Structure 1
Amino acid sequence: METFDKAPKFFAAQALIRQTSPKHVITMGKIAEPFVQALIGCLLNADGKQETDKQYVSLPANMTLLDFKDFTFNACLYRVRRLQLQSQPTDTQTEDRLNYIQTLINVDSTKTVYALGALIKFLEQTWHNMRPSGDDALIFLHIKQVALDDHVYIDNTTFNALNVFNLMRHDSAFKHGGLSSCREGVSLFKLLSLHCVSQMGFLKLREILMSPIKNMNELAKRYEFMDFIVDPRHTPIATAINAALHKITNVYKIFGKIKHSQGNAGHWRALYGTIYALLQVNEEIKPFLTECSIFREYHEMMSENLYRVEATINTTLDLKVGLNRDRPAVKEHIDDELDEAKSTYNTIQNRLVAAARIVVNHLPPQLEECTVSFVPDMGHIISVRKWSPKCTPEELLPYGCYFLFESSSIFHYKTALCQELDKQLGDLPLVVQDHENRIIQRVAAFVIEQNVFMLNPLEQLAYMDALISMAKVGKERNYVRPLINEHNMLEIKDGRHPLAEINNESYVPNHYMSGGLHRPMKIITGPNASGKSMFLKQVALLVYMAHVGSYLPAAAANISMVHSIHSRLHANESAALNMSAFTIDLIQMGNALYSAKPSSLVVMDEFGRGTTGNVTKALLLSALRHFLHGDNICPHVVVSTHLTLEKEYLESPLVHFQKMSHMRHPETNAITFLYKIQDGETSSCTFEMAEVLEPSILQRAKEIYASLSGDKPELTPEEEEQFFLDVKCPPFDD
């Protein structure tokens, strides 16, 4: 299973452990790492109630930690590639066995390869202690993908094909360390994040899109909140929340700074602004707690401790002014000793001005001014700007000045008056600074101790930010809230592709009905470029959007919770993968065949275009018959093909043949695509699409096709030779 999990709670990992109840847990890392600590707490506390502040120093008996250095990626990949499964077809060659394994797992995922490779090695090393009896050999039966109960399984290939994310790297990104030059291209994430205000909301939206769910209660909460926000009656509260979102920041880094006395005034201002924004939102939403579940959850997260944190910072620290602009100052009447030291310090400026006047009176006439200042570890010093281009610091030695150093055309000296100031004032500036630092550090310790009362509502506010952005985009683009059902029924009326319609005002919407009274298997035919692939992606993307709580670009929608979404959409060949386009097709198809459930959605676009027509047809028919082997368990299947499928192999009330409509010009026979889905079948119109070729070549192709189809007898060698002599090809360019 691959999903996005977040520190410090790692709820997804904990939910997975509770769901699967593993006999043994294996992971990589050190015991002090937050992820390992969360796993230990979950294993030791079966009731789910963990001691959040407890630091575990030993592993439970059913947990093992592995060291990264003993499990390199190449070593793990080698073990995965040589894995022998009892479920694999017999008498398979090495290449076929590797392709079979890739239908079960995603070998392009580094984490998946690490996890499986480490597990194989661990079992090989420890099986003699774990086996039930002494004669039991280690045998791997099968690999099964596991998804969280509340999560929809979507593989990386489908994510990429649907353009949920589209991270684009600059050609010179390697110069900047890889990801620093990346940007988000045209994607669903970029569209839905248009109105995210805070960086935390931006990250929260990415987390939401990476984890589609089938928890109807949670989805209902999201839609309830979004409906509340877009209601014109609630514009004032939406505006107040938006203003508060501009003030929040990610406090995790700030905690690290102030904990180690590295926090400056800017860090403290950002921290206080975040806390104040949290409290402000809590006050604003109080009149609406009965109308919105997310507001109630946020209000329940608020604690009096957070109010005390705000009051402590506000009454103790002056975040606007300070003795040093790089750190805050402590306000008056907090510490009497500090107030007295500050009072004395405030008189220093007058003393230093008077001292500078005395020094100038004892210097040569050409020097009309000087500065007396305090430097830590050096005490009070006199600073004199060069009075001529050729002057030297030794010229002032007869006047009782002891030269220290030169910087930026300024000579710095020590005099008897400076030594007297050192005796009278001492290191008072450092005393004040150290005293303030001790108070600030006590405040920092108190704030960090209460961090849990801040982090939970902050996460919830970031959650609101993400949902507000989704709601605003939906309202601007005329999206609708889908109905959610439990009857394995997908109904989309006048659905539109959210990305394709952005730059296409004349985008043609289409219906999609599956399950319930509608047949779940759709076989769509039509000419190339008639809109088949776009329709398939549109169906998959709209079903996916309903599972993240987004409004849908449609006139109406009624969506059931699906188990998984599988696709055969992209098959980009790559020398690095050492796989042909047809091999990638087979792997993607195998993933759907092995993993699809009755409530899954499977979309297949032009399966097998990389091999011969009859072989493709046989494989496609066999796969479709696999989905149809039981009347009540066929998943939602949408297939586009240019092949003519024999209906006798697909005789089932679950199959629905549809086509992408088009029309022909009555005189020229030219094709005009209407991009509208209709019942029925149609040909691929290959010859009509090939009219860009030389007419004689096209005519000969029609004759050969008729011959191969059995409509005409085969040509004699003489006729074949005469054809090539008659073909009129355009001349080559000079």
Structure 2
Amino acid sequence: MLKGAHLGLQQDLIDRTLTPAMDEGERALSPPLKLHDDGSEPRLGDLATMLLEQFTPDTILLGSQCSDAVKKTVQKHISTIGGRLYIRPSKEFDTATGKMRLGPRLKGCPDTPLSLAAAAALLDNLVRLSSIRSNTSDDGDGLDTGEDVSYAKIRTVDTICLDGCMTLSAETREALAISHPSSSSSGYGNKESQRGLTLFAFLNNTRTLLSPGLMRRWFLFPSTDLSVLADRHNAIECFTTPSNEAIVESIIEQLKGIKNVPKLVDSLLAGHASLIAWKSIVSFCLRALHIRELASQLGPNGDGAYPQHKVAIVQRCLAEFDAATLQGIAESIEATIDWEQSAIEGRACVQAGINDQLDEWREIYAGLPNLLITVAKKLQEKYTFAQSGLINVAYFPQLGYLAALRFTDTLKLPESFDVPAGWAFHFASEISAYYKCPEMIDLDSHLGDVHSFIADREIEVIHELTESIATGGAGLLVKVAELCAEIDCLLAFARAATLYNYTRPRMTDDGVFDVKGGRHPLQELCVDSFQANDTRLRAAGGGDGAPSMQILTGANGCGKSVYLKQVGLIAFMAQIGCYVPAEAATIGVVDQILTRIHARETIARRQSSFLTDVSQVSHALRSATARSLVLLDEFGKGTKATDGAALFAATVRQLLLPSMNHGARPGKPRCVATTHFQKSSTKPSYLEGWATSPVQWRSLFTPQLNQSRLRPESRLWLCQALRQQDLAMRPAPRVALRHLPRPADSPPQPPASHNPHLSSSFGCNLEQPHQTRTHCTVQLSAACQRNLCYVAPAT
């Protein structure tokens, strides 16, 4: 069975456009994606990896003309996670076919030719699997695909533009404890909370069945649209206003009873809605009306900063909850369906007074017992054969009226009865034998199959009711249910903000990250007390003296990794529209969070831990822009200390270059890194006035086992990345990591001798370190970036 989804990928080899079309059963997703880079092949692999990690499909369709890079990426994903890959002929990826079959449902289809082409191949595959499944179920032969394609019918199509979303890899989500790696596109699900504490499980305090799916989508695609974030933050501020507490609690109570409305509407339109489905739709309409009334009563906060008319979700609720239509749907169902009789019959029965013919048949059906007794007495008087006194008359729906002769101790078989000519034997039960005689034929012609007439007419009435709802309200029901799910998610965020003292972040488009009193949202739940810490970063160094990079050092267990993850989680929470655990926060929009924190250990990957770490950093260096946030935790620890220090210094130098990513937004990303290579130190005076890029070096210590904080006195400018031409040194590029009690005005000196050897780290030509009383030096080849990084110790 398909537990995940189908994913079709179409690649344009000319403009480097990769377009997925995805079917999740109840929904079809076809987002157009334009690569915002220089079009190099590794970027296609990165994008494909991101899509596969976020959607985790079980079936993947690729066009035969896709590049080898994309195919290898998909095959690597399948070997690690699992799934099926089908290479389909390129002719199946036809834009015209996709537009014909899907275009009316997809907004802006002329602008998404590759999405339509991928959708065409996806729909062809679903039709093919449906045909195979049908043949298998009909005669038991044929190919068993093991896949359930009963949901191949597409209900809605959504378009997602990833230009307005923050991107994170699956490893980043796992490292930051945002979600578990097994959480798939079919839902983070109710079992998420059973696999340990994650941010999703922590915030997913929702009530409706649709809400976890919507929150999962917010977690998959954190927004970079300031207007979207402002709307969500405004809603949380409105919901957390003390004067609205009673109203909010009433809204929550109404949300608790809402079922899976899209599924109910599907069963309704398919004509097999159960009695429970009808009751659930009525209940939903009444609850939606109540929620609308409660939303209209929401007032501003204490200072009146965000009155009702400025809260977008409230205005949408008042505008889109069409009270007249919802009331009409509820009243029409209540007026049509007889709930008591339906419970007895086990199907939807129609109220009296809805249809005159139906009422007439019901009167006839109600009088049948007395009528049949009268007819039986007349038959006993009319016929004089030996067993005529045993005649009864019975009515069977679809079979009609039959004369019944009851068995006795001496008459135990139908052949024992001496019935008149013209009596046709139909069947026998344990009690009686049943015959069709001329009188029964007369009843069939005059009265007819009354029960079937009633059932058929009730089906017609229910169908008319269904058609009226489908025409005027089915779409509204789904829209209102989705809006209720959005309200539910925002209420979950508001509840977390109230319980854990979160604050509203100020979102900007600048490359700033200024957090006062920041806390780790999960770690603070696990300790008795948590020491908050400030963070101040600005992309490209900024003009306010804030650094673009912060490097942390300290003893094991002092809280470096907690602080590092805290920065990433605060940025993530702000961009899903949630309040953040801090006293105050000003956050510039982050387009992607790139990490080297956690590496998945798997035999299928066939990589060492160190090579996996290097691959993660390589991806970060390729992808980072001025709007990115880079988090590096102990990079370089998986190899020799000197090699690791050199790689760490080279990475720092690369992250401080003015333009990280050609073709993207220029500038240096915001970065937080932890390392054990250097202890806290002070800025050397002999670096003053040189062309440098500042890095803030912070030293952590642990006064108690359950607390960690940054020493204010160590928040100094300590590390400077220098260009090689700024120093009168030999031409060979090098990284110098110094621990020397030398005069501040004394220029650095190169070592007297070198013993070069080839290191396996990035294939760099490293020198064996020369350790003396005064210095330690390693040399990097040009492949690892020309740079010099000097760190002097604290005195």
TM-score, scaled relative to structure 2 = 0.62
Partner of 2:613: 585
Task: Find the aligned partners of 1:387 and 1:597 in 2 and give their Cα distance.
Answer: 94
The question of 1:160 aligning with 2:174 is answered yes
Partner of 2:461: 439
Q: Please, which of 51, 55, 68 is the counterpart of residue 79 of structure 1?
A: 68
Task: Find the aligned partners of 1:446 and 1:206 in 2 and give their Cα distance.
Answer: 34
Q: Please, which of 676, 695, 700 is the counterpart of residue 642 of structure 1?
A: 676
Q: Please, which of 522, 529, 533 is the counterpart of residue 506 of structure 1?
A: 529
Partner of 2:341: 321
Q: Does the 8 A contact of 2:6 with 2:60 survive in 1?
A: no
Find the residue that maps to 1:623 and give its secondary structure: helix
* Aligned residue runs from structure 1 range 174-213, under 5 A: 183-184=192-193, 185=195, 186-194=197-205, 196-213=206-223
1:428 Cα deviation (Å)? 0.3
Q: What amino acid is aligned across from residue 212 of structure 1 in structure 2?
A: P
Q: Does the 8 A contact of 1:606 with 1:642 survive in 2?
A: yes
Q: Does the 8 A contact of 1:522 with 1:656 survive in 2?
A: yes
1:433 Cα deviation (Å)? 0.7
Bigger Cα displacement from structure 2, 375-384 vs 551-560: 375-384
* Aligned residue runs from structure 1 range 392-407, under 5 A: 404=427, 406=429
1:644 Cα deviation (Å)? 2.3
The question of 1:542 aligning with 2:570 is answered yes
Task: Find the aligned partners of 1:118 and 1:36 in 2 and give their Cα distance.
Answer: 20
Q: Does the 8 A contact of 2:401 with 2:436 survive in 1?
A: no
Q: Does the 8 A contact of 2:530 with 2:706 survive in 1?
A: no
Partner of 2:592: 564
Task: Find the aligned partners of 1:544 and 1:429 in 2 and give their Cα distance.
Answer: 62
The question of 1:379 aligning with 2:400 is answered yes
Q: What amino acid is aligned across from residue 649 of structure 2 in structure 1?
A: L
Task: Find the aligned partners of 1:167 and 1:325 in 2 and give their Cα distance.
Answer: 48
Bigger Cα displacement from structure 2, 637-646 vs 177-186: 177-186
Residues 312 and 162 of structure 1: is their aligned pair in 2 closer, same or farther, counting only changes over 3 Å? same
Q: Does the 8 A contact of 1:380 with 1:414 survive in 2?
A: no
* Aligned residue runs from structure 1 range 708-719, under 5 A: none
Partner of 1:331: 351
Find the residue that maps to 1:658 and give its secondary structure: strand
- For residues 123-173 of structure 1, the C-alpha deviation after alignment (integer angstroms, 9 at most, x for no partner) is xxxxxxxxxxxxxxxxxxxxxxx973321122222112112122669xxxx
Task: Find the aligned partners of 1:226 and 1:384 in 2 and give their Cα distance.
Answer: 76
1:207 Cα deviation (Å)? 1.5
Question: Which sections of structure 2, spanning at least 5 residues, go unmatched?
Answer: 33-56, 95-159, 299-307, 384-389, 539-543, 660-665, 719-768, 775-795
Task: Find the aligned partners of 1:470 and 1:178 in 2 and give their Cα distance.
Answer: 19
* Aligned residue runs from structure 1 range 179-578, under 5 A: 183-184=192-193, 185=195, 186-194=197-205, 196-288=206-298, 289-290=308-309, 292-303=311-322, 304-322=324-342, 325-351=345-371, 374-380=395-401, 404=427, 406=429, 413=434, 422=444, 425-450=447-472, 451-515=474-538, 516-578=544-606
1:600 Cα deviation (Å)? 1.5
Task: Find the aligned partners of 1:583 and 1:272 in 2 and give their Cα distance.
Answer: 58
Higher RCO structure, 1 or 2 (CA under 8 Å, sep 6+):
1
1:291 Cα deviation (Å)? 5.5
Residues 574 and 426 of structure 1: is their aligned pair in 2 closer, same or farther, counting only changes over 3 Å? same
Task: Find the aligned partners of 2:636 and 2:242 in 1 and give their Cα distance.
Answer: 51
Partner of 1:174: none
Partner of 1:633: 667
1:570 Cα deviation (Å)? 0.7
Q: Does the 8 A contact of 1:73 with 1:114 survive in 2?
A: yes
Residues 625 and 179 of structure 1: is their aligned pair in 2 closer, same or farther, counting only changes over 3 Å? closer
Task: Find the aligned partners of 1:560 and 1:201 in 2 and give their Cα distance.
Answer: 28
Residues 509 and 387 of structure 1: is their aligned pair in 2 closer, same or farther, counting only changes over 3 Å? farther
Residues 354 and 590 of structure 1: is their aligned pair in 2 closer, same or farther, counting only changes over 3 Å? farther
Residues 591 and 495 of structure 1: is their aligned pair in 2 closer, same or farther, counting only changes over 3 Å? same
Partner of 1:619: 647
Q: Does the 8 A contact of 1:107 with 1:113 survive in 2?
A: no
- For residues 391-445 of structure 1, the C-alpha deviation after alignment (integer angstroms, 9 at most, x for no partner) is 9666995799978355xx8767558797776566431010011011111112212
- For residues 436-470 of structure 1, the C-alpha deviation after alignment (integer angstroms, 9 at most, x for no partner) is 11111122122122322222222111100111112
Residues 340 and 118 of structure 1: is their aligned pair in 2 closer, same or farther, counting only changes over 3 Å? same
Q: What amino acid is aligned across from residue 310 of structure 1 in structure 2?
A: A
Aligned pair count reads 580
Find the residue that maps to 2:341 and give its secondary structure: coil
- For residues 470-519 of structure 1, the C-alpha deviation after alignment (integer angstroms, 9 at most, x for no partner) is 21122122222223234322222332222222232223332222224432
Find the residue that maps to 1:221 and give its secondary structure: helix
Task: Find the aligned partners of 1:655 and 1:38 in 2 and give their Cα distance.
Answer: 39
Q: Does the 8 A contact of 2:5 with 2:22 survive in 1?
A: no
Task: Find the aligned partners of 2:602 and 2:212 in 1 and give their Cα distance.
Answer: 33
Task: Find the aligned partners of 1:178 and 1:232 in 2 and give their Cα distance.
Answer: 33
- For residues 329-387 of structure 1, the C-alpha deviation after alignment (integer angstroms, 9 at most, x for no partner) is 2223322112212222222355568889999999xxxxxx9998643332356999999
RMSD: 5.1
Residues 311 and 370 of structure 1: is their aligned pair in 2 closer, same or farther, counting only changes over 3 Å? farther
Partner of 2:164: 150
- For residues 213-240 of structure 1, the C-alpha deviation after alignment (integer angstroms, 9 at most, x for no partner) is 1222221211221222222322342233
Partner of 1:688: none
Q: Does the 8 A contact of 1:320 with 1:328 survive in 2?
A: no
Task: Find the aligned partners of 2:253 and 2:187 in 1 and give their Cα distance.
Answer: 35
Bigger Cα displacement from structure 2, 212-221 vs 282-291: 282-291
Partner of 1:95: none
Q: What amino acid is aligned across from residue 295 of structure 1 in structure 2?
A: V
Residues 179 and 652 of structure 1: is their aligned pair in 2 closer, same or farther, counting only changes over 3 Å? closer
Task: Find the aligned partners of 2:406 and 2:710 in 1 and give their Cα distance.
Answer: 85
Find the residue that maps to 1:330 and give its secondary structure: coil
1:634 Cα deviation (Å)? 2.5
Bigger Cα displacement from structure 2, 352-361 vs 196-205: 352-361
Find the residue that maps to 1:554 and give its secondary structure: coil
Q: What amino acid is aligned across from residue 211 of structure 2 in structure 1?
A: G
Find the residue that maps to 2:163 and give its secondary structure: coil
Question: Which sections of structure 1, spanning at least 5 residues, go unmatched?
Answer: 8-12, 40-67, 84-97, 123-145, 170-176, 363-368, 664-670, 683-706, 713-734
Q: Does the 8 A contact of 2:224 with 2:575 survive in 1?
A: yes
The question of 1:661 aligning with 2:701 is answered yes
Find the residue that maps to 2:503 and give its secondary structure: coil
Task: Find the aligned partners of 2:89 and 2:700 in 1 and give their Cα distance.
Answer: 46
Residues 299 and 383 of structure 1: is their aligned pair in 2 closer, same or farther, counting only changes over 3 Å? farther
Q: Please, which of 675, 678, 684 is the counterpart of residue 708 of structure 2?
A: 675
Find the residue that maps to 1:404 and give its secondary structure: strand
Q: Does the 8 A contact of 2:626 with 2:668 survive in 1?
A: yes
Q: What amino acid is aligned across from residue 244 of structure 1 in structure 2?
A: Q
1:29 Cα deviation (Å)? 8.7
Q: Does the 8 A contact of 1:167 with 1:183 survive in 2?
A: no
Partner of 2:631: 603
Q: What amino acid is aligned across from residue 678 of structure 1 in structure 2?
A: R
TM-score, scaled relative to structure 1 = 0.66
Bigger Cα displacement from structure 2, 561-570 vs 316-325: 316-325
